[in-house]
Amino acid sequence: MSINKSTQLDYAIPASKIATLSFGVFVGMVADNLEQKIELKTFHGEIINDHAALKAEEESYTNFSGSDYRNDHGKRQGYKEQCSGNYWRSPGKD
C-alpha cells in the first residue's frame, strides 16, 4: 500500500482563461467534504445589471462635500458637528 501526499496545487482556472473573461463574468471552483458531496464543483456565471435603474438611482444621489453642511436652521456646520448631532438625535440617545 502506498500513500502519496502532494503539496503541488494546479490552478483550477488558468490565468489565460480569467484574462479573457468579459466584464461581469465570474468563474470558480468549490471543494466538498465527505459528509456533503457536491456534484458540480466548477461554476461560471454572469452578473446582469439593469443599467437604466442604476443610472436613475445614481441621479437621485445628493452631492456630499464632506466638509460643510447646513443644519436644520440653515446654520453652517462642519462634518464632525453634523455627525455628532445626528448621533445624539438618533432614537434611544438622551
DSSP secondary structure letters along 1-44: -----------SS-HHHHHTPPTTEEEEE----SSS--S--EEE
Q: From first to last of its 94 residues, what are the pLDDT tens digits of the chain?
A: 666 666 656 677 788 888 898 988 988 888 888 888 888 888 889 999 899 999 999 988 876 655 555 666 666 666 677 677 777 777 766 5
Single-letter amino acid code for the residue at 73:
H
The residue ranges of every structural domain in the chain are: 11-61, 64-94
What count of other Cβ atoms lies within 10 Å of the Cβ of residue 87?
A: 9
Predicted TM-score (pTM) of the model is 0.40
